[in-house]
Amino acid sequence: DTGVSQNPRHKITKRGQNVTFRCDPISEHNRLYWYRQTLGQGPEFLTYFQNEAQLEKSRLLSDRFSAERPKGSFSTLEIQRTEQGDSAMYLCASSFLRRGDLQYFGPGTRLTVT
Amino acid sequence: GENVEQHPSTLSVQEGDSAVIKCTYSDSASNYFPWYKQELGKGPQLIIDIRSNVGEKKDQRIAVTLNKTAKHFSLHITETQPEDSAVYFCAARNLYSGAGSYQLTFGKGTKLSVIP
């Protein structure tokens, strides 16, 4: 069990650019979640996958955000036309329904939009 | 939707003393309450959780209590050590409903400092 991994760990981009983050969940975990965390706040839910199906999206997920989990394993989160307000830590978590559905988080990707 | 309030926002204790962090939730349908510890530059780490059919759960120096009637739950850390210094988050979730049940709703966090 190697834990949830996320890449890159840090990303600095200019306003208006597109960025993509990757999350590799714990193997056998069929559920995957994306959260966003800003300074001094708790994580806020963005979206959720069960296997390859995206089942839930938060109102925080504007149309500039898109997430995929094409084969039910790793997931990507893309932000198009980044804005300064997108600067945050993007956290990925995974869980396995048959083991209590406990959510385990990765180290996060810190995005800075200049 | 669910709203979770967490207090205090900062807490300083002497090494060896106890620390208590309290959370309240608004949605009576919530039935799962995990606690996470987040160290600087790292993702949240699950340290203990409790489900609504249990009033208290303990794991070594860490315990969590739940009062469903009052809709509040607390984290208790005894014999604190410097390595307990971190930001702690409480969260709430309804495990069994449909839409909206997958997400955890977090409090704003408590920064715990254990002074040697």
Residues B17 and B113 sit within 8 Å (Cβ to Cβ): no
pLDDT tens-place string over residues B69-101: 999 999 999 999 999 999 999 999 987 766 556
Question: How many other CB atoms sit within 10 Å of the CB of residue A18?
Answer: 11
pLDDT tens-place string over residues B27-41: 998 999 999 999 998
- Chain A nearest-CA distance from B44, in A, is 6
B100 interfaces chain A, CB cutoff of 8 Å: yes
Residue numbers in A near B42 (CB within 8 A)? 107-108
The residues, ordered by sequence, that sit 6+ positions from A68 with a Cβ below 8 Å of its Cβ are: A54, A75, A76, A78
Task: Give me the pLDDT at residue A20, please.
Answer: 98
Residue numbers in A near B104 (CB within 8 A)? 35, 43, 45, 103
pLDDT by residue for chain A (114 residues), tens digit each? 579 999 999 999 999 999 999 999 999 899 999 999 999 999 999 999 999 999 989 988 899 999 999 988 999 999 999 999 999 999 999 998 777 788 999 999 999 999
Sheet of B62-67: strands edge to edge? Answer: B4-7, B19-25, B72-77, B62-67, B56-59
Q: Please indicate whether, in this complex, the C-beta atoms of A56 and B102 are within 8 angstroms of each other.
A: yes
Q: Would strands A109-113 and A10-13 be described as parallel, antiparallel, or unpaired? A: parallel
Residue of B82, B98, B101, B78 lying closest to B30 (CA atoms)? B101
Residue numbers in A near B41 (CB within 8 A)? 107
Position with higher pLDDT, B85 vs B1: B85
Q: How many CA atoms lie within 13 A of A32 on its CB side?
A: 31
A60 interfaces chain B, CB cutoff of 8 Å: no
Computed from CA positions of residues A7, A11, A15, A17, in that sequence, does the dihedral angle turn out positive or negative?
A: negative
B1 interfaces chain A, CB cutoff of 8 Å: no
